A and B are shown apart, each in its own frame.
Chain A
Amino acid sequence: MAYSFPEEVLELVLSFLRSDRDRNAVSLVCWSWYEIERWCRHRLFIGNCYAVSPEIVIRRFPEVRAVEMKGKPHFADFNLVPEGWGGYVQPWIRAMAASYPSLEEIRLKRMVVTDESLDLIARSFKYFKVLVLSSCEGFTTDGLASIAANCRNLREIDLRESEVEDLSGHWLSHFPDNCTSLVSLNMSCLGSEVSFPALERLVGRCPSLRTLQLNRAVPLEKLPNLLHRAPQLVEFGTGAYSAEIRPDIYSNVAEAFSVCKQLRGLSGFWDVVPAYIPAMYSACAGITSLDLIYAAIQSPDLVKLISLCPRLQCLWVLDYIEDAGLEALAASCKDLQELRVFPSDPFEAEANVALTEQGLVSVSEGCPKLQSVLYFCRQMSNAALITIARNRPEMVRFRLCIIEPQAPDYLTLEPLDTGFGAIVENCKQLRRLSMSGLLTDRVFEYIGKHAKKLEMLSIAFAGDSDMGLDHVLSGCDSLRKLEIRDCPFGDKALLANAAKLETMRSLWMSSCLVSYGACKLLAQKMPRLNVEVIDERGHPNSRPETCPVEKLYIYRTVAGRRVDMPDFIWTMDKDAGNPEAFVSNGAVEMVGDA
């Protein structure tokens, strides 16, 4: 062809591409498209902060305005990743402070963020608008004060589920009086009391505030003050939902809720006093999302509440809801898409509530749009799983946790292989699966055969042999993240499927049977993987090579081995002949694997 599109035209066309997958595909067409695309990618998603380095990213994408990044492996949520593992954001912030002066948005998940980082963010990015720290740790309220004080255009500050060292509530008072840009504030994870007058004033002067999630320390009596100043709220999280039972408090709260006509999401509800639940009834007709995981509301009250929420799409609730409550949910909420039921008493072997597999079956029968489930219970049967699978073939996320490890089908005492097999066979769009209960290699055969769209799989106390792991690695074409604990999977399957690991974001294995020798071999075979052995018993050299390692985290990377590991983590040596420094086309996939 003697002509081609002018760059400007192509750039305009590319600006309509939002998905990273599409942009990555475009980058692979030819070098000139790669060039044009990299100059106009403004939003970056880095699923594993160690898969690539700040230098490589900045060199390739010079005009970035929004960065989203994840650090620790998912199992860190359950204390399986030791303290000091890594995931430090500081090197990224330092590099971006120098190269991305127009950066506006930072979203981090499971990373270690220090006050120093927050201060650097606050001082380096003049147009900074959005800070989301999800399940992060390492910072204090002093860091938040710096953000509040220095970010003139701050729109969003969301600290969901982060561990913040709460030095004082005064950080909120650092928002200057002329800050009126706030759209979203989530401080639900904070412990101490913020200055209420400062909060009131802040809420009152931000007319675009759509999301306000308070912390437990904000008392119920004060809610009306806030809601009256922000009747336009769409998402609201209460503080402690308890007070002396007084008619004046009740009517104030009820009236305040009725004033907020745009409310779609509610959360908070610590320490619920049942008498105050009806005060929120006026909001129920419009509610699409309800998060009650901190609310010890018993089933009858939950039934009343839920029956008033016909538009409910997402419900997170404790198992106090019981089978009866889930039946009511199934009857009232035909728009339900996502259900999460958490255990009120997870460490008790005996059931404290009347919640069984039947509740989930009812919801699967009654809610035609159900596609995302997280369910904790104490008994399950193959029959129930098969029913659920047949009822909801469009299921996308299915996470089941039977509290007793290796619990069999309680009716037949058989493994739950056929039940989960039915899930993967019927639910052809399934992208995420977590399994529990008694499971043999057979279930993995089903998964390898049917779960072709599966991207994330979590396995615990399951399987009999390496065949199980082999089925998964060889059969699951779309697999990106695999996390395994306490399974008898060892060297054979891992080494036989070494190449597969480079097509995935990461593999976590703890308390399995992978030997130190196999880890070394794998690293030599696959230089574009970091094979990290985590072992708190001391260097693996002090034990036989055949000895299984405690924990193993393997991930693809173009950044080489990381240098910020604590003393109990070792990266296995790669083949000395293979240079790691060049950026291959593998890197195009690396940055932005959604």
Chain B
Amino acid sequence: MLSHLNLEATELRLGLPGSDDLPSTNKRPSPEDHQTPPAPKAQIVGWPPVKSYRKSTAAAKSAEAESGMYVKVSMDGAPYLRKIDIKLYDGYSHLLTALEDMFKLSIGEYSEREGYKGSEYAPAYEDKDGDLMLVGDVPWEMFMSSCKRLRIMRGADARGLASAQH
């Protein structure tokens, strides 16, 4: 019944992302490591265990610099939502690639005039005023500060959105 567990067959990893074994020594970068700039440290979900609303209030940081700008992402037809941290992305293409990965779909090319023409799905978001907007129209920084929620719409519904906004 309880046969030997083959860890490699599962996708679960113990230990930190990016490490291949359970580290047993304190990992501090050695001086030689400073040749290449260190990759941004992947955050472990829920660690350290601080409640999300208790963000850092360091005097040097403004409210925008707090770690984590989580928004809910829904996809038309999917039974449950996801949550992503927009701060982890450095621009629209990065974000859209991540969404394509997460939901296993293709989003296609953005054009100001026609939105996401030719793709099955198009990304939209709810802004501060509660309006549904097509992702990509405004500069990335403005999007980051005004996006409250993301919604991946079916292409047909979204085309209505694109033409309504232009």
Q: Name B17-43 residues within 8 Å CB distance of A.
A: 22-27, 41, 43
> Are B46 and A488 in touch, CB under 8 angstroms?
no
Nearest B residue to A406 by beta-carbon distance? B23
Give Cα A289–Cα B10 distance, bound, in whole angstroms: 49
Whether A79 lies near B48 (C-beta < 8 A) is no
Tell me whether A566 and B79 are in contact (CB under 8 A): yes
Partner pick for B22 among A82, A161, A346, A406, CB 8 A cutoff:
A406
Residues of B within 8 Å of A441, CB to CB, are none
Answer whether residue B58 sits at the interface, using C-beta atoms and an 8 A cutoff. yes
A475 to B1, CA, bound (A): 26
Q: A78-B50, A161-B51 are in contact. Are A546 and B5 (CB under 8 A)?
A: yes
| Interface residue range, chain B | 35 or more
Q: Is B14 an interface residue when CB atoms closer than 8 A count as contact?
A: yes
- Which chain B residues lie closer than 8 Å to A550 at the CB level? 12
Interface check B166, CB cutoff 8 A: no
Contact of A294 among B6, B57, B83 (CB under 8 A): B57
CA distance A238 to B48 in the complex (A): 28
Interface centre among B6, B45, B50 (most CB of A within 10 A): B50
Q: Contact between B80 and A408 (Cβ–Cβ < 8 Å)?
A: no
Is B72 on the interface with A (CB-CB < 8 A)?
A: yes
Using known A-B contacts A83-B80, A515-B5, determine if residue A295 contacts B57 with beta carbons closer than 8 Å.
yes
How many A-B contacts if CB must be within 8 Å? Answer: 125
Q: Chain B's nearest CB lies how many Å from the CB of A237?
A: 15
Per-position 1/0 for A53-95, Cβ under 8 A of B: 0000000000000000000000101111011100000000000
Cβ-defined contact, B48 with A376, below 8 A: yes
A403 touches B48 (CB 8 A): yes
The smallest C-beta distance from B72 to any residue of chain A, in angstroms, reads 7
Known contacts: A83-B72, A438-B24, A544-B9. The answer to whether A567 contacts B79 by CB under 8 A is: yes
Q: Which of A258-266, A337-345, A388-396 is found at the contact surface with chain B?
A: A337-345
Pick the residue among A189, A270, A294, A486 that contacts B14 (CB under 8 A).
Answer: A486
Complex: A566 Cα to B12 Cα, angstroms: 22
Given A82-B80, A296-B57, A492-B24 contact (CB < 8 Å): no
Kindly supply a per-residue 1/0 record for chain A positions 272-310, scoring 1 wherever the CB is within 8 Å of any chain B CB and 0 otherwise.
000000000000000000000111101000000000000
A405 near B: Cβ within 8 Å?
yes
- Within the complex, the shortest CB–CB distance from B13 to chain A, in Å, comes to 8
A347-B72 in contact (CB<8A): no
B80 A161 Cβ-Cβ under 8 A: no
* Contacts known (A490-B5, A511-B12, A566-B79); A401 close to B54, Cβ less than 8 A: no
Interface of B is mostly: loop
Bound-complex Cα distance A84 to B67 (A): 24
Q: Is the CB of A513 within 8 A of B57?
A: no
Q: How far is the CA of A502 from the CA of B163 in the complex (A)?
A: 59
CB distance from A217 to the nearest CB of B (A): 13
CA distance A410 to B43 in the complex (A): 23
Of listed B16, B22, B46, B54, residue having the most chain A CB within 10 A: B46
Q: Is B105 an interface residue (CB 8 A)?
A: no
Contact partners of A405 in chain B: CB under 8 A = 16, 44, 47
Mask for A494-530, Cβ within 8 A of B = 1, else 0?
A: 0100000000000000010101011001000000000
Task: Please tell me if A548 contacts chain B, counting CB pairs below 8 Å.
Answer: yes
**Cβ of A521 and Cβ of B79 under 8 Å apart?**
no
A491 at the interface (CB under 8 A from B): yes
- B142: chain A residues at CB < 8 Å are none
Residues of B within 8 A of A75 (CB): 46
A407 vs B27: C-alpha distance when bound (angstroms)? 8
A33 at interface by CB-CB < 8 Å: no
| Residue from B14, B48, B50, B81 within 8 A of A84 (CB atoms) | B81
Q: Which residue of A lies closest to B58 (CB)?
A: A344
Residues 47 to 84 of chain B near chain A (Cβ within 8 Å): 47-54, 56-59, 67, 72, 79-81, 83
Is A568 at the interface (CB under 8 A from chain B)? yes
* Least CB distance, A468 to chain B, in whole angstroms: 13
Known contacts: A408-B25, A568-B80. The answer to whether A80 contacts B45 by CB under 8 A is: yes
How distant is the Cα of A302 from the Cα of B49 in the complex, in angstroms?
Answer: 25
B24 touches A485 (CB 8 A): no
**Contact among B14, B27, B48 for A346, CB-based, below 8 A:** B48
Contact with A547, one of B10, B22, B44, B51 (Cβ below 8 angstroms): B10
CB-CB under 8 A from A318, the residues of chain B are 57
Task: Please name 5 further chain A to chain B contacts, defined as beta carbons within 8 Å, in addition to the given A376-B48, A536-B80, A546-B6, sorted by A numbering.
Answer: A78-B50, A83-B81, A347-B67, A495-B2, A546-B2
- Give 18 A-B contacts (CB < 8 Å), ordered by A residue: A77-B52, A79-B46, A79-B52, A79-B83, A83-B83, A84-B81, A189-B53, A296-B58, A404-B27, A408-B24, A408-B26, A434-B49, A461-B14, A511-B12, A511-B14, A513-B12, A517-B1, A547-B9
Q: Which 7 A-B pairs have the closest CB atoms?
A: A78-B46, A567-B79, A296-B59, A80-B46, A296-B57, A78-B49, A346-B48
